[in-house]
DNA sequence: GACACGTGGTA
DNA sequence: TTACCAAGTGT
């Protein structure tokens, strides 16, 4: 069990089978009934869910995903909309650049892939807003391929159950990636189920704050538990500053834009933040990011093209 | 590799 | 209440 799976011998293969069986059985009994996992889901729906879920809790994504899928059921439907419509519909999910990239990705899917979400990992990766994780997740969840899907939940489960650490490193390491690959079941359908199952275990049981070890199928073989649940020894995570930051100002500016059907004046924007210098800098940043469009008459709107 | 990037729920 | 945390990506 302490042997690295990369050095797998006969005993470790049995060990790996045991790991797979426990997690897959647990998932069969405890998986949440999420709409992007439903039998009638589309690859587009999976892609939309993955982007929405980036750094954003499931509970907040759920209603937004349903609304988006009803409004823009295919990539081409979204590509036909103005980017500003996507930003407005993104509402308060946070990180609105994701909405812009989602819209750009819809255009790329139509222009380069005949309107169908590509199955190939490299082509997925080339879409705006799709990084290593999301490309692997879509290839695995939507198309049943065999990929190491490594998100924060998976990293935490691996760190505890296999490596014996309370928390994974600050950033994804090559060793973690290799471990994730080494743990993958051989056949694609099982690997795809494994990927979503480990993630679900991390989301529901092996949580960051207060893990529910009593409910964990791996309790009696968890390396971290067996080691006496040692505390995290690495550096504490840096909290994200918020009050007074550009991020907060950007959020306020965009909130004004989202809330208005018509373009807004500079005065209306000024009302949301007193510091002229900072407000101007943030507005420039939003324009540079393509989230805000300055109009010839001096007003501002969400991007129209 | 570090940093910027939104928002709101929870302990 | 303050701080942490949530299915990351792009620069």
Per-residue pLDDT tens for A257-282? 999 999 999 999 999 999 999 999 99
**Which residue from A197, A194, A211, A153 is spatially nearest to A27, judged by alpha carbons?**
A197
pLDDT of residue A31: 97
Q: Which nucleotide is nearest to A171 (CA to C1')?
A: B1
Cβ pair A176, A155 in contact under 8 A? yes
Distance measured from the CA of protein residue A171 to the C1' of nucleotide B1, in angstroms: 9
**A96 in contact with nucleic chain C (CB within 7 A):** no
**A281 in contact with nucleic chain B (CB within 7 A):** no
**A104 in contact with nucleic chain C (CB within 7 A):** no
Report the protein residue whose CA lies nearest the C1' of nucleotide B3.
A240
**A254 in contact with nucleic chain B (CB within 7 A):** yes
Per-residue pLDDT tens for A213-249? 999 999 999 999 999 999 998 777 777 788 899 999 9
Alpha-carbon distances, residue A170 vs A131, A137, A167 (angstroms):
18, 21, 9
**Structural element, H or E, at residue A294:** strand A293-294
Residue with tokens 């933040």: A273
**A108 in contact with nucleic chain C (CB within 7 A):** no
Q: What residues of A act catalytically?
A: 50
Alpha-carbon distances, residue A130 vs A5, A92, A98, A286 (angstroms):
29, 20, 10, 21
Q: Which nucleotides of C are covered by protein (CB under 7 A)?
A: 3-10
Averages of pLDDT over runs of 10 residues in chain A (305 residues) are: 46 88 98 97 98 97 98 98 98 98 98 98 98 98 98 98 96 96 98 98 97 97 97 80 92 97 97 96 98 98 95
Q: Within 10 A of A23 (CB to CB), how many other CB atoms are there?
A: 22
Q: Is A207 left (phi over 0), alpha (psi -120 to 50) or beta?
A: beta
**A246 in contact with nucleic chain B (CB within 7 A):** yes
Distance measured from the CA of protein residue A179 to the C1' of nucleotide C7, in angstroms: 19
Q: Kindly state the tokens that stand for A106.
A: 């819809």
| Euclidean distance between CA atoms A248 and A245, whole angstroms | 5
Q: Which of residues 16-55 of A touch strand B (CB under 7 A)?
A: 55
Q: Within 10 A of A249 (CB to CB), how many other CB atoms are there?
A: 21
pLDDT of residue A9: 52
Q: What is the DSSP string of A109-161?
A: HHHHHTTS---SHHHHHTSTT--HHHHHHHHHHTT--------HHHHHHIIII
| Euclidean distance between CA atoms A145 and A121, whole angstroms | 9
The beta-carbon contacts of A208-213 under 8 Å, at least 24 apart in sequence, are A208/A156, A208/A167, A211/A160
Q: Give Cα A67 to chain centroid, integer Å.
A: 18
| Euclidean distance between CA atoms A111 and A148, whole angstroms | 29
Give the domains, in start order, of chain A with CATH numbers: 7-33+147-226 (1.10.1670.10), 42-141 (1.10.340.30), 246-301 (1.10.10)
Q: Which residues lie below 8 Å from residue A285, measured CB to CB, with a gap of 6+?
A: A246, A250
Report the protein residue whose CA lies nearest the C1' of nucleotide B11.
A209
Distance measured from the CA of protein residue A55 to the C1' of nucleotide C5, in angstroms: 9
Q: Which nucleotides of B are covered by protein (CB under 7 A)?
A: 1-9, 11
Q: Which residues lie below 8 Å from residue A272, measured CB to CB, with a gap of 6+?
A: A252, A253, A255, A256, A279
pLDDT of residue A235: 76
pLDDT of residue A3: 39
Q: Kindly state the tokens that stand for A112.
A: 């380069």
pLDDT of residue A167: 96
Percentage of residues of chain A with pLDDT beyond 70: 96
Question: What's chain A's length in residues?
Answer: 305
Distance measured from the CA of protein residue A9 to the C1' of nucleotide C4, in angstroms: 41
Alpha helices in chain A (DSSP H): 10-30, 43-52, 58-71, 75-79, 83-90, 97-113, 121-125, 132-141, 152-157, 174-182, 188-204, 223-226, 246-259, 266-270, 276-289
**A54 in contact with nucleic chain C (CB within 7 A):** yes
Cβ pair A67, A89 in contact under 8 A? yes
Average pLDDT of the residues of chain A: 95
């Amino acid at each position: 069990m302490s042997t690295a799976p990369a050095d797998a011998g006969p005993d470790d293969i049995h060990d790996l089978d045991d790991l797979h069986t426990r997690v897959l059985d647990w998932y069969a009994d405890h998986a949440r009934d999420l709409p992007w996992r439903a039998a009638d889901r589309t690859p587009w729906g999976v892609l939309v869910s993955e982007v929405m879920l980036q750094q954003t809790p499931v509970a907040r994504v759920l209603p937004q995903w349903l609304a988006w899928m009803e409004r823009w059921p295919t990539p081409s439907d979204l590509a036909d909309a103005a980017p500003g419509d996507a930003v407005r519909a993104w509402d308060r999910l946070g990180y609105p650049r994701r909405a812009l990239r989602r819209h750009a990705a819809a255009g790329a899917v139509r222009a380069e892939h005949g309107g169908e979400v590509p199955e190939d990992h490299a082509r997925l990766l080339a879409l705006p807003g799709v990084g290593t994780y999301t490309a692997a997740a879509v290839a695995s969840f939507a198309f049943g391929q065999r990929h190491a899907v490594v998100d924060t939940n998976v990293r935490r489960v691996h760190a505890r159950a296999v490596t014996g650490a309370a928390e994974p490193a600050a950033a994804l390491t090559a060793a973690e990636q290799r471990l994730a690959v080494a743990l993958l079941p051989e056949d694609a359908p099982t690997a795809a189920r494994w990927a979503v199952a480990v993630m679900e275990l991390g989301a529901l049981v092996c949580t960051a704050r207060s893990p529910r070890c009593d409910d964990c199928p791996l309790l009696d073989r968890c390396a971290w538990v067996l080691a006496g649940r040692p505390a995290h020894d690495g550096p504490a995570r840096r909290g994200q500053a918020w009050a007074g930051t550009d991020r907060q100002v950007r959020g306020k500016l965009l909130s004004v834009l989202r809330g208005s059907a018509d373009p807004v004046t500079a005065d209306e924007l000024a009302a949301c933040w007193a510091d002229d210098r900072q407000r101007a800098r943030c507005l420039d940043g939003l324009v540079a990011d393509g989230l805000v469009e300055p109009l010839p008459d001096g007003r501002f709107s969400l991007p129209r093209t």
